[in-house]
Amino acid sequence: MSAFPRLSLLLGLALPLLANAANPLDDEVRAAAHDVMAAQDIPGLAIGVSAPGLRRLYYFGTADRRSGQPVDAATLFEIGSLSKTYTATLGGYAVATGRLRLDESAAQVRPALASSAIGQASLLQLATYSAGGLPLQFPDSVTSEDQANAFYRAFQPPFPAGSRRLYANPSIGLFGALAAQRLDEPFATALQRHVLTPLGLSHTYLQVPAAEQAHYAWGHGKNGEPLRVNPGVYAEEAYGIKTTAGDLLAFVEANLNTGRLSTPLAKALATTQQGYYRTGPMTQGLGWEAYAYPLPKAQLLAGNTPAMALEPQPVDWQHPPLPASGARLLNKTGSTNGFGAYALFIPERHIGLVILANRNYPIPTRIEAAWRILQKLDSRVQ
């Protein structure tokens, strides 16, 4: 492990303005950031918190160890599979506008899949990783959409669609592609037009533009080597978002306050937050994963274990889906080879929290850090 970098803290405040003096929340955020960066050799970290009457952004360390460039409000991080919540929102928008039904089969949208097992899977099963056991990643030989279609047509599910959850990029990736197809636009165009722009996420990208490249952090590998994500088939749909802490927090806040949005987008976000089935300690939404709140930390950790991501899990479908209401904590992790992200929100308490890092570090460590901060946030609204 290399020497722990000198931390630099920039504290950003949004209205209503808060006193500059240290308070227990600031102290806990600083301590949690210091501890996790030291333990995991994380070069840079950004944390955003939101609660009634409070919005703060914190920046620590460097976006690139080679240059020493500090993490700040403009720093772009890869968020990996947290991107799935944006894809789910686009799918929800297609549903809200009558362009798509979650009970449709994949073949109804893409007739080329008609003779395949995956073609018979529903859009909801694809979006919730329950389409029959698609693998976590495409085989290395799949490098184009035509090859992806051939892979889907040839795929033989190891278990019946709807019977097991197995986390899979090709599953929600196809869902996102089919949603965009029904919206008659390329995925990137549809996401920008129907999700990112209406939500005011002006520093959220699938492809970082040239003018923003200087703000794009470098991820750091196990040996400190600089890394960025390699694009692949349906990478945009499954793990392609790059964003700032402020924009990610704004996305979380939109999920907390859907009533302030236009009807289709509000319905889209509500669709992502519904509970479609229970599996183990958590309830699966579209992208988001939910728990009854309050809950013990052990339950949140249990819902984010490697087994939940890498092994088939039995599912208990909810008919009708559990509504997007009540006391619940929703969360999602995201990783690329060089980055690690985590977001959670509690609608009933209007609390949101995001943590972005330019190293892929263990998910339990992310949750432990978030839990520390959450306790301070939650104490403010009790």
* Residues forming the active site: 81, 167
**Residue 180, CA atoms < 13 Å, CB-side half-sphere:** 21
Rounded distance, CA 255 to CA 361, Å? 26
DSSP secondary structure string for all residues of 151-171: HHHH---SS-TTSEE---HHH
**What are the two backbone dihedrals, phi and then psi, of residue 299, each rounded to the nearest 5 degrees?**
-70, -40
Name the token pair of 10: 């920039």
Q: Let me know: does 91 contact 179? Beta carbons within 8 Å.
A: yes
- Encoding tokens for residue 70? 């500090």
What CA–CA distance (Å, rounded) separates 208 from 64? 17
What span, in angstroms and rounded, lies between the C-alpha atoms of 162 and 165?
8
Identify whether the C-beta of residue 342 lies closer than 8 Å to the C-beta of residue 236.
no
Residue 278 tokens read as 């229970």
Give the 3-state secondary structure percentages of the chain, helix then strand then coil, rounded to 5: 40, 20, 35
Q: What is the CA 134 to chain-centroid distance, rounded?
A: 20
Within the chain, what is the greatest distance between any pair of CA atoms?
65
Q: DSSP string spanning 209-237?
A: -GGGGGGBPPEE-TTS-EE-PPP-TTHHH
Residue 62 sits at φ, ψ, to 5 deg, of: -120, 145
Q: Which amino acid makes up residue 97?
A: T
Q: Which residue has the tokens 């309050």?
A: 294
Distance CA 203, CA 212 (A): 9
- Give the Cα separation of 292 and 240 in Å (integer): 29
Q: At which residue do the structure tokens 């893409």 appear?
A: 110
Which H helix or E strand runs over 120? helix 117-120
